[in-house]
């Protein structure tokens, strides 16, 4: 039987996976098309809007991932819970080690090299969230069988 805690983790992972793929394939590549004159304003607006959307979801996901490791539902392997948490921690580390500094540099003005670095570095988060969604979907499917 599936638990609501596992379903919460799965829902958050799926929402954040969809969001990060949109950012990875649409938002970040479009930074290069904004133009130098409008870029600082555009980037500031993007950062403010996306942070208001992503930050609460990331905090909720982190809390839910910790809860999943501490209060594992019956049938959920400890390995799955820890790997799921590890993927969230990888996302957070990548966010603060790569993405936040890159956005800080872009706040100073458009740099195509920095946009490229942001897109390349964001693949870590994109793949980590995708892997987490896949792991939790597979786990949910296994528990329902």
Predicted confidence at residue 1, as pLDDT, reads 37
Count of the separate structural domains present in the chain:
1
The predicted model scores a pTM of 0.94
pLDDT tens sequence across 27-83: 999 999 999 999 999 999 999 999 999 999 999 999 999 999 999 998 999 999 999
The C-alpha atoms of residue 62 and residue 58 are separated, in whole angstroms, by: 6
pLDDT tens-digit map of 70-123: 999 989 999 999 999 999 999 999 999 999 999 999 999 999 999 999 999 999
Domain of residue 48: give its range.
4-144
- Angstrom distance (rounded) from CA 103 to CA 135: 30
């Amino acid at each position: 039987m599936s638990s609501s805690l596992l379903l919460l983790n799965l829902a958050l992972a799926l929402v954040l996976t969809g969001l990060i793929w949109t950012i990875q394939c649409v938002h970040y590549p479009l930074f290069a098309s904004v133009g130098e004159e409008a870029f600082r304003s555009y980037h500031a607006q993007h950062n403010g809007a996306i942070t208001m959307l992503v930050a609460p979801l990331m905090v909720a996901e982190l809390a839910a991932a910790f809860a999943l490791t501490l209060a594992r539902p019956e049938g959920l392997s400890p390995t799955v819970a820890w790997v799921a948490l590890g993927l969230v921690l990888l996302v957070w580390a990548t966010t603060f080690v790569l993405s936040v500094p890159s956005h800080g540099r872009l706040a100073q003005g458009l740099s195509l090299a920095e946009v490229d670095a942001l897109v390349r570095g964001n693949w870590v988060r994109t793949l980590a969230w995708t892997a987490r969604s896949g792991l939790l979907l597979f786990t949910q499917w296994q528990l329902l069988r």
